Amino acid sequence: MSTSSLPAAAADSNVFNLPDVGEGLTEAEVVTWHVAPGDTVAINDLVVEIETAKSLVELPSPFAGTVTALLVSEGETVPVGTPLLTIGSGSPAIRPDAAPEVDESRPSVLVGYGPSEHSSQRRRKRRDDSAPTAPTTSPDAQSVDIALAKPPVRKLAKDAGIDLRAVTATGKDGTVTHEDVLRHIEFLESSRTPNSELAPSTSDARPTREERLPIRGVRKHTAAAMVRSAFTAPHVTEFITVDMTAAMELLARLKASPALAGVKLTPLTLISRALLIALRNNPTLNSSWDDEAEEIVLKKYVNLGIAAATPRGLVVPNIKDADRMSLGELAAAIEQLTITAREGKSSPADLAGGTITITNVGVFGVDTATPILNPGEAAILCLGAIRKQPWVVDDSIEIRSITTLGLSFDHRLVDGQQGSQLLHDLAVILEDPLQFVARG
């Protein structure tokens, strides 16, 4: 549905337009409606959840009154300023064309992704037009085809990847119930038996052995940023194998220290601290390339990015001025950063301004990787799994805790010698815990 075909708002209706809720936001996807035509809302009542580049954002109503129409379907991506819904019989809290105040702790935009160079166009979610849908319009208002369902039911359907418009509604006034969704899930699962695996799908005539997922939200923005980074910055990756035995023994002693009681300490904590120390003598790894000004920008601070795997995809929030933190402060900051990211609550400030990143593939049992740079940064360090392995110590073979670190860097900013020196310094610090004191 184009904006030109939107139903005209009644004279006493207020139009709520999609606001700009984050740095550089040009569009957002409507994920879940929390109201339906005929519902009464007060100012600041939650009306809709949208998805920006990396997070879900809850939008409150700037008006009080009765919802007369929903103008955008769930799953539809629309530009900032697009009318989302109309609310009648209420007085506006702000001008209809002004953005409402939004809790800055909620929205987020992935570091370096920024707006697209081209204006966005609406993209409708694919669906089966023949599937039964629940009625969505009130008698005196027009709206798009939105299934009636309570928020918990919408969440159940969303988590299961089900379009509510394809579910047969049995609730009052055509509302989709919890049981309706469960029955639909059972139907879909029963249709995927071996005997029917080769049969065409009833919804789109495709074999059920294939599933097509729309490219949007987190995956869309991640893909765009990684392609831009890979084909803009000339990547070089180097590796070093490190004996982490002494560092792991230090970690055990730190965990038992009363001074750090209640602080979550992990190998990532120590490696992050070691990286911050090593950067002091290797500042080019903490820089950026200003193409427009034709300058290299050396950062005198370290905003340490920690790549975090979340249910919505990979995000890279960063710890501001991490180089000024004690070990305990750094550990607490990493823990809080990870929790916030997994809950989808990283703010734009959390995700912006990173100077160097650590990604930990070791938590997945992977030995190492060749990571792609976070856009705008000079380097990214990859931490691999720490394993017990035979190792030569003073001409004798011993069982030691071994890991492999991988460092990718932008060869415009960092020469091979500088990248190699950083990896060497990291290994020296981690293999001799006294270096944390001597250099820290």
Could you read off the pLDDT of 299-339 as tens digits, one per residue?
999 999 999 988 777 889 999 999 999 999 999 999 999 99
- Which range has highest mean pLDDT (32-46, 95-109, 219-233)? 32-46
pLDDT value at residue 294: 86
Question: 145 falls in which pLDDT band (50, 70, 90)?
Answer: low
pLDDT value at residue 25: 66
The yes-or-no verdict on residue 135 having pLDDT over 60 is no
What average pLDDT does the segment 193-212 reach?
53
Any residues with CB less than 8 A from the CB of 339 and at least 6 apart, and which? Answer: none
Instruction: Pick the more confident residue, 298 or 229.
Output: 298
Say whether 380 sits in a helix, a strand or coil.
strand
- Using a pLDDT cut of 70, give the percent of the chain over it: 74
pLDDT value at residue 151: 67
Lowest mean pLDDT among 81-85, 227-231, 384-388, 432-436: 227-231
pLDDT value at residue 193: 46
Picking from 270, 281, 283, the residue whose alpha carbon sits closest to that of residue 328 is 270
Instruction: Pick the more confident residue, 228 or 115.
Output: 228
- Look over the chain and give the mean of its residue pLDDT values, rounded to a whole number: 79
Q: Is this prediction's pTM over 0.85?
A: no
Cα separation of 388 and 51, whole Å?
43
- Catalytic residue list: 411
Cα separation of 136 and 215, whole Å?
27
Distance of CA 216 to the CA centre of its chain: 12
Q: Where are the alpha helices (DSSP H) in 160-216?
A: 178-190
Token pair recorded at residue 40: 């009464």
| Residue at 97: amino acid letter | D
Domains plus CATH for the chain?
A: 1-116 (2.40.50.100), 126-213 (4.10.320.10), 232-439 (3.30.559.10)
Residue 86 near residue 67 (C-beta atoms within 8 A): yes
Residue 71 near residue 16 (C-beta atoms within 8 A): no
What average pLDDT does the segment 413-438 reach?
93
The yes-or-no verdict on residue 105 having pLDDT over 70 is no
